[in-house]
A = this chain, B = another copy of it.
Amino acid sequence: MPLSLAVLGAGRIGKVHADAIAATPGARLVAVADAFEASANALAEAHGARVSTIDEILAASDVDAVAICTPTDTHADLIERFARAGKPIFCEKPIDLSLERVRQCLSVVDETATPLMIGFNRRFDPHFAALKRAIDEGRVGSVEQVVLTSRDPGLPHLDYLPRSGGLFRDMTIHDFDMARFLLGEEIESVVATASVMVDPKVGELGDVDTATILMRTPSGRQAVIINSRRATYGYDQRIEVHGSGGMVSAENQHEASVTIATGDGYTRPPLQNFFMTRYAAAYRAEIGAFLKALSEGIAMSPSGDDGLAALALAEAATRSVAEKRPIDPRSMGKGA
Contacts and interface: CB of A to CB of B under 8 A. Distances in A.
A242 interface: yes
A165 to B, nearest CB: 21
A269 B262 contact: no
Question: Chain A contact residues (Cβ within 8 angstroms of B): what range?
Answer: 35 or more
A214 interface: yes
B196 A220 contact: yes
A196 B222 CA distance: 11
27 contacts: A126-B256, A127-B258, A139-B260, A144-B210, A191-B326, A212-B222, A212-B223, A212-B224, A224-B224, A224-B226, A232-B261, A232-B263, A233-B261, A233-B265, A233-B266, A246-B263, A248-B259, A248-B260, A249-B261, A261-B270, A263-B270, A264-B267, A265-B267, A265-B270, A266-B267, A267-B267, A325-B325
A257 interface: yes
Contact of A222 (B131, B210, B220): B210
Nearest to A216: B193
Contact of A145 (B147, B210, B251, B269): B210
Interface in A49-108: none
A26 interface: no
